[in-house]
Chains A and B, each alone.
Chain A
């Protein structure tokens, strides 16, 4: 039997662990969360992604119980959370600042929650050493938080929030304070730990790469609303709006008017430029304003005119951004539009054929771009 893909959100039988129904949160005049409804399922690694001030942290703090919704209802495991204080919820949180207790050792920090529950002493011992092993902190049990490195502190915070085996773990920008290399390692560690413990994780981040790496589903938020919820691949390949397409990764966006053609649309977009053909299942009225979003790596750049590409435009290389493994070419078209094309640097730099000021052709297939309404 083929391994089933983890996608409880597609299964109508599956009961969600967390349900937001019509949740609104206002701070005075400011609406942080605007009539939001969303289900999150058990064992999910759910990422809330958005720019600062989009309401993602507020959503998390409402789950933890530090904020109460102005309107609407939050259910965890079918139970209404209204009026239940943070210390009575089956939820633990890993704080952005880690919030480790500076006067307690690593061991005592991890044991803190268990002691509050009144767990027996020997059980605490067992559980804490289990957590220390899981986060590879055995050697640091006796140290105080200020005697360990940032990465170790991050792991203590994780161990502490996992120690009580919560149904739901909330992670507020958990990797924000780590440097790039350590962050990448820790992302995989987080996924590993999530899988091992089977806990539902909800992570808040503004780093789209982090969300894409760790999450089973990503919710892209803007101004208190969820713009799209989907798996990382769908978010990237089939963004539902220009906002999502633009927020995730690099994208070329061309504005035009849709004209129905054979199994798709022909887009008129600039004076004197050929129409662009796009295959899509969406339907547009003739002449409707639309946006064509296309990832730079799906654009092919060549010196000669490609013979059989469905879409091709000519331009001039203005800028080249060399990223080591990739190069991004900024190409200006005849009408002044700038487009980006990305190519993997499979050849040595000295053998690169294209350079500044070269006149080049950009081409792409008719399934490469996504056609959006705006």
Chain B
């Protein structure tokens, strides 16, 4: 009895905070837009009894999903989101791995400080940090002023409101999610393994490729998913740092919802996004599971 209670609590939590909201979104995505409040039909009218339930279900259809396939804006946005997320994940890995490596190789007494420095940005609001990037990247911003001052350029670069700014924003924001899992795997690595590799004839560099990289594979995979999954649906960074040409599904969703006030289509976009994300999420879970098995 007590066991069921223990298991029941997290499931109840999931049910109330994930499954129920999802079912509501799913229901809205199957509804039709209406000039009403809330702005969609049909509504469930329980006072009409069985008839009410029947008319309610008869009113649901897949029109919104069909609509998503007819306008190429949507699938282009999905593809572009995956592309941007994929490339940004790669950049984050290239920046994050050396940092994680440096942290893992640092003397023991330095590590807590370095760890704190990685986590420190979380203490400031994410939104404020993205806004401050606007100040850095704009044509009169700090970066351009600096580059002009050292004479590297004589015309300010246009960085803000381009995809470059989006990449910078994503790499900056999600870097800790890449660093921490990689650091966790590197930190556990036995230093004697590298000595053994050298002893058996490896140079430092080959030892890194043959030992360090494969042994941090789990951390790399985890870090990449932790960056890739939220980046696909990212809305704040493309809308603040990106330009009109930056096509990302999070932005489209926002516009459908708030500008067009078309809740059913916005919900359909969200449901499809979730379906797209299920694959990487499952892969991520399997990676975690594998790692646990290896350690266990």
Q: Which A positions have Cβ atoms within 8 angstroms of B?
A: 64, 66, 85-87, 91-93, 95-97, 99, 101-103, 112-113, 116-117, 146, 160-161, 164
Contact = CB atoms under 8 A, between A and B. Distances in A.
Contacts of B190: 97, 99
Sorted nearest first, the 5 A-B pairs with minimum C-beta distance are A113-B200, A116-B201, A99-B196, A99-B192, A86-B198
Interface string B193-220: 1011111111100100001001101000
A84 to B, nearest CB: 12
A116 B202 contact: yes
Nearest to A170: B199
Given A97-B190, A103-B214, A146-B294, A66 B195 contact: yes
Contact of A117 (B195, B197, B201, B294): B201
Contacts of B215: 102-103
B200 A116 contact: yes
A160 B200 contact: yes
Interface SS, A side:
mixed
A103, A117, A146, A160 — most chain B CB neighbours (10 Å): A103
Nearest to B201: A116
A25 to B, nearest CB: 17
A89 to B, nearest CB: 8
Contact of A101 (B193, B195, B203, B206): B193
Interface residues of B, number: 18
B14 to A, nearest CB: 33
Given A102-B215, A116-B206, A146-B294, A97 B192 contact: yes
Contacts of A64: 195, 199
Interface of B: 190, 192-193, 195-203, 206, 211, 214-215, 217, 294
Nearest to A104: B214
A96 B211 CA distance: 19
A88 to B, nearest CB: 8
Contacts of B198: 85-87
Nearest to B203: A87
Contacts of B203: 87
B140 to A, nearest CB: 51
18 contacts: A66-B195, A85-B198, A87-B202, A91-B199, A92-B200, A93-B195, A96-B192, A97-B192, A99-B196, A101-B211, A103-B215, A112-B200, A116-B201, A117-B201, A146-B294, A161-B199, A161-B200, A164-B200
Given A86-B195, A103-B217, A116-B201, 5 more contacts: A64-B195, A97-B190, A97-B192, A113-B201, A161-B199
Nearest to A95: B192
Contacts of A66: 195
Contacts of A92: 199-200
Contacts of B294: 146
A215 to B, nearest CB: 22
Contacts of A117: 201
Contacts of A146: 294
Contacts of A85: 198
Nearest to A61: B195
